[in-house]
Structures are given as structure tokens and as C-alpha cells.
Structure 1
Amino acid sequence: MNSTKNENLDIFRDKVLIFFLILSIITVISQITLGGIVRVTGSGDGCPDWPKCYDSWIPPFEYHALIEYAHRTLGASLGIFIFISTSIVWIKYRRNSSVIRLVTLSSVLVFIVGMIGGVVVLSELSPSIRTLHLTLAQMVTALVILSYIYSTYTFNLPINKSSKWLWSKIDKDHKSILNFTVFAAIFTLVALLSGSYAVWKEAGTVCSSWPLCGGSIIPQSYLAWIHMFHRFISILSVFVVFFACYKVLKTEKISKHLRFASISGIGLIFAQIIMGAANPLTTFEQWARAGHLSLATLIWVNMVFMIGFFLKPTKASEINNIK
């Protein structure tokens, strides 16, 4: 027991591990954001082969090729950072089962994402394959964030009426709101993926008005149905995420980190509403479309942080009683 506790304290002090986990988080968010830019600028086929670009490791000095190759380079860098993090954990902290599970699964998934990325190019950018590619990339994001959270704090706080949640123990009074937060996070991911699928099916710009599609309550085409389904799911996700953040803020005994994440979630929701409306109002300018996906990813990231902060052991001095 003491050796495990000392190992937990050591992982908290491991600045190299924390550095690479933070670097992984920044890189994966940047890669997904750049992936959105690849999508809205039509740069997905900027490099027609894989892993090289026009059969060269150095891409041609051309706009679309540079954007696509930068996206791939970030993906390769992410794989290296996660591999280093995983190696550190396996060598020094293998008794920390939570972090071991998270970083190992991150390594496996980031490898799969890279392989699917190659399939995306070689399959002429099939919408279904691209949706799977983005889904797994968002899963990697979640796993890296949770790896970071579980590695940055390991002091134990006595939990009243503890309840098991997956491999963790949480306060029984927090279990229902944690479950709803997970539901809100999943809803956010579904909304994000539905929007990406709509764009890849070339349905992203078929509705030039907002909030209705061309002034009609009933969509008039198959592509319009895809587009409006995304809008409907997005509107629902706004209410679900807002309610989850509000409920967390009303919950007693939450850390200052969780409180900050909840407030951030509300702010991101309002920013996303504005950005979503900006798409049709600007005739789907590239900056509005890329910003829309970036904000959706940040909302997903924020929800994962909230889940992690519920599961993360917290110092008593960090507890805020919010009533």
C-alpha cells in the first residue's frame, strides 16, 4: 500500500511526463482543428498518396498540399508524444492501473487513427471512413486528457458515502450529476460528428438561412434533411450541456477546477451558438466553418475535463461549497 502511495506521489512530481501529456493535449486539439481547416478548404486530397506527398517526404510548395501535410505532421508528432508518455508510465509507474489503462489505450488508438488516416486518402475521402477517423481522434483526445488528470493529482480526499463508478470511486451525492455530465459529453460528440458527416456528404451548405432551411419548416431534399438533423441535434446538445454545467455549479463539494470548467462550458456554448449562426449568415465563409468545428471540439474537451475532475482525487483545500 505504501509503495503504491509513494508511486502516486512520484507521478505527480514527474515534470517530464506531465510535459509530454500537456504537449499531447495541445497537439491533438491542434490536429483536429487543422483537420477542420483541411476539410473546409478542400485540402483533403492535397496529397493524393500516403504517407508521402506526391511520392516525396517534402510536400510541394502549394497551398492545399502544405495544409494537408501539416495535418499529417501533427498526427505523427502526436503519436510520438503519446508513445513517450506511455513508455514513461510503463517504466516508472506500472502499478498505477488507472494511468496505465488510459495511456496504453491512447497509444493503441492513435496508431489506429493514423492508419485510418491513410485509408481516408487512399479511399478517395469516403464520408463514412472520415467520420470514423474523427470519432477515434476525439476518443484519443478524451483519453489523453484523462491521463493528464490522473497523473497530476494523487492525494486522497475522504469520500462520504462512496460509490463505484467504472474503476473509480466517487461521492455518492455526485454520481447522478456525473452520469448526466457523461450523457451531455456524448451528446456533444454526436452533434459534432453529425456536423462533420453533413459536410462530408456535401450537405453543410445546403441551408443558407438560419434557424430554418430556406424558410421551410420541412426540409425539401435529402441533403437538407441531413443538414437540419445536425442543427436539431446541436440545439438539443446546447440545452443538455448548459443544464449539465448549471447542475454542476449547484452541486456541493466540487473543486475549483470543476467549477471553472462548468463556467467555461457555459461560455463556450454561447460562443458556439453565435458561430453556428455565423455560418449561413456569412454564406459559409471558411473561417466560420473552421471555427464552428474548433468550438465544438473545445466543448467536447471541456466536458471531458469536467468528467475527469469529478473522478480526480482532490485536496480538501480546493473544495468549494457551492449552494
Structure 2
Amino acid sequence: MNAYIKYTKFVLLFVFLVIIAGSVVRTTQSGMGCPDWPHCYGRLIPPSSVNDLPPDYRKYLDKQDIDMEYNPVHAWVEYINRLITGALGILLVVHVGWTFKKFFSSRQSICWLSCLFLVGTVFEAWLGKLVVDTNLAVVKITLHMLGALFLALIPVLILHKLDSNKPIHDKRLAILTTIALIVLLLQIIIGTDVREQVDEISKALNYEQRDTWLGQINTIFDVHRIVAVVTSLLVIFIFWRSLSHAALQKKALFLLLIVLLTAAAGFLMASLNIPAFIQPVHLLLSSVLFISLFAYRLNLKK
């Protein structure tokens, strides 16, 4: 059992790797680094230089929105992102097989969750193809990211079903955590809208004049900051109330640490004109906070 639990946790961590890889692709404007899918310029492996391009490479460059000539860095960033997603699929095939062998005769709900995990990942790969086919349509990018986030909930549910610890009975804390989850999800969705506007503004300015990007975002950015404050206050209150439950104190302290780091990353992004290196960190921390808060809520019973 311990080996299976460790493997499920490893797969969960790999989902976060997929999320951060996708964010790196987006912040480096590498989404169309490979303009075709599943190949890259008609090849299984991206060309290492212009000399390795196929004779008809121009038909691929015509799909680009940033590179007028072949950019091997963008190609390899996107290609590595695809490899990481493919590796997750392989890990999940193993997970499904292991789950059915171990639990099919006793706990079939875990088997179906594992299958859903695999099917969801295949759907994510298909959605990634649509993103490429539609030249990075912003709505599909957002759905792609949210899909990955909800995928991470599945191994958390599996781990919860295998947890022998009894839930904590605290109705007020359970309601408070549920509210915090809803507000945080709203915050993430609003954040994706802000990010979509940044993408459109930066593209219109040829990815220059970074210091003017935030000033061109509409009032949704102010809403984003207000909801961020509300989320932080809710998590702080959850931490305070968790002090009365010894079994929840470490989990609540982790939530507090992550929400403070997330807020700090958001502050740095706004203060330093959205530096590319902080964007994946901010997204990763937000994702970890949402998944951790979900896992925390599973430990509570009204």
C-alpha cells in the first residue's frame, strides 16, 4: 500500500510539473514554437538549427504569431512541454494498471478515479492540440490550464480514500474552508482573464513596452487584487481556527505559508511590470494553494 500511495503522490507532483511547464511556454511566448502537432516542423524532434528545417518550412512559419524566422529556443521549450505531458500519460497508464490490480475486487471507486485521471489527461493533450491549431486562442489556453488544475484534484481524492485518519468534526471550519475554496477558484478564474488581457496587450505591442501593460488592463485587475486580499484573510482565519485541532495545525500552517508566498509573488508581478520569471511561480503557488485547500477540506466533516 505504501508504494502505491508514494507513486500516486509522485504522479500528483508531476501534474504540477505539467502546469509549470505550460506556464513557462506561455511566458516565453513559445506556444507556437512548434506550429504543428504532434510533430514539430514536420519532424518527430525539433530542428536544431535553420539548416535542419524541411524544404517547406515556410508553411509552418506562416502560422506563427511572433517568430518570423525559426526560433530553436521556442521550439524546444514547447517540445519539452509536450514531452512532460506525454510522460504524465505514461505514468497514468501504469497507475491505472496498478490500481485495477490492487483495488478492482475491493474498492472500485478508486479504479474509476484512476481511469478518469487518464481520460482527463488525454483530453488535456487533445485540448493542447486545439490550442496549436487555433494559434493560441486565449479561451482555449485558459480551459487548458483550468483542466490541468482540476486533474490534480483526482489523485488528492484517491489519497483521501486511502487515508485511515478520521475526519475532524468542525462545522464552522468546514463551511469557512468551502467558502475559501469558492473564492479562490473565482480568484484563479479572474486571474486567467487578467492574463488573457496581458497576452493580447503584449502581442499588440510586439512584446515590448512592458511597463505599460498593466495600465491598459480594465477594472478586472482591481477586482483580482480585492479578491486576493479576501482569499488571504480567509486562509489566515482558517489557520487561526485550526490551532484548536492538533491534527490540522501543520496543514493549516502550510496553507498560510503558501498564501503569503502567492501574495508576495503577485505583489512582485505588479511592482516589477510582470517579469516573465515570476509568472510561472505565481501560477504554481496559486495551483498548490487550491489543491492544498481542497485536500484540507476533505479532512473536515460538518
Q: Same fold (TM over 0.5)?
A: yes
Q: Using a 3 Å threshold, how does the CA distance of structure 1 residues 97 and 243 change in structure 2: closer, same or farther?
A: farther
> Equivalents in 2 of 1:28, 1:132: separation in Å?
16
Match of 1:259 among 213, 232, 249: 249
One-letter amino acid matched to 1:237:
T
1:118 aligns with 2:118: no
1:69 aligns with 2:79: yes
Q: 1:32 touches 1:137 (CA, 8 Å); kept in 2? A: yes
Q: Using a 3 Å threshold, how does the CA distance of structure 1 residues 188 and 60 change in structure 2: closer, same or farther?
A: farther
Match of 2:170 among 169, 174, 180: 174
- What do the CA deviations read for 1:73-122 (whole angstroms, capped 9, x no partner)? 11111122122212221222122144234222212211211111111111
Alpha-carbon RMSD across the aligned residues, in angstroms, is 2.5
> Equivalents in 2 of 1:186, 1:107: separation in Å?
26
Match of 2:182 among 181, 186, 194: 186
> Equivalents in 1 of 2:211, 2:11: separation in Å?
37
Q: 1:50 touches 1:118 (CA, 8 Å); kept in 2? A: yes
> Equivalents in 1 of 2:136, 2:198: separation in Å?
12
- Match runs of 1:125-274 below 5 Å: 125-151=136-162, 153-154=163-164, 157=166, 170=167, 173-202=169-198, 223-250=217-244, 252=245, 255=247, 258-274=248-264
> Equivalents in 1 of 2:91, 2:182: separation in Å?
26
For this pair of structures, how many residues does the alignment match? 269
> Equivalents in 2 of 1:138, 1:92: separation in Å?
27
For 1:166, the equivalent position in structure 2 comes to none
Q: What TM-score comes out, normalization by structure 1 length?
A: 0.75
Once the two structures are TM-superposed, the CA of residue 262 in structure 1 deviates from its matched residue by 0.7
- Tell me the percent identity: 23
Once the two structures are TM-superposed, the CA of residue 204 in structure 1 deviates from its matched residue by 8.8
- Match runs of 1:39-50 below 5 Å: 39-50=26-37
One-letter amino acid matched to 1:116:
L
> Equivalents in 2 of 1:91, 1:205: separation in Å?
51
Once the two structures are TM-superposed, the CA of residue 25 in structure 1 deviates from its matched residue by 1.1
One-letter amino acid matched to 1:230:
H
Q: 1:23 touches 1:81 (CA, 8 Å); kept in 2? A: no
> Where does the alignment leave 5 or more consecutive residues of structure 1 unmatched?
1-11, 158-169, 215-220, 312-323
State the secondary structure of the residue aligned to 2:33: coil
> Equivalents in 2 of 1:105, 1:246: separation in Å?
36
> Equivalents in 2 of 1:127, 1:248: separation in Å?
39
For 1:83, the equivalent position in structure 2 comes to 93
> Equivalents in 2 of 1:81, 1:246: separation in Å?
38
For 2:61, the equivalent position in structure 1 comes to none
Q: Using a 3 Å threshold, how does the CA distance of structure 1 residues 40 and 274 change in structure 2: closer, same or farther?
A: same
For 1:24, the equivalent position in structure 2 comes to 11
Q: Using a 3 Å threshold, how does the CA distance of structure 1 residues 204 and 244 change in structure 2: closer, same or farther?
A: farther
Q: 1:272 touches 1:296 (CA, 8 Å); kept in 2? A: yes
Once the two structures are TM-superposed, the CA of residue 140 in structure 1 deviates from its matched residue by 0.6
Once the two structures are TM-superposed, the CA of residue 287 in structure 1 deviates from its matched residue by 1.4
Q: 1:127 touches 1:201 (CA, 8 Å); kept in 2? A: no
One-letter amino acid matched to 2:144:
H
> Equivalents in 2 of 1:205, 1:119: separation in Å?
22
Q: What TM-score comes out, normalization by structure 2 length?
A: 0.79
> Equivalents in 2 of 1:272, 1:261: separation in Å?
17
Once the two structures are TM-superposed, the CA of residue 301 in structure 1 deviates from its matched residue by 2.5
Q: 1:146 touches 1:304 (CA, 8 Å); kept in 2? A: no
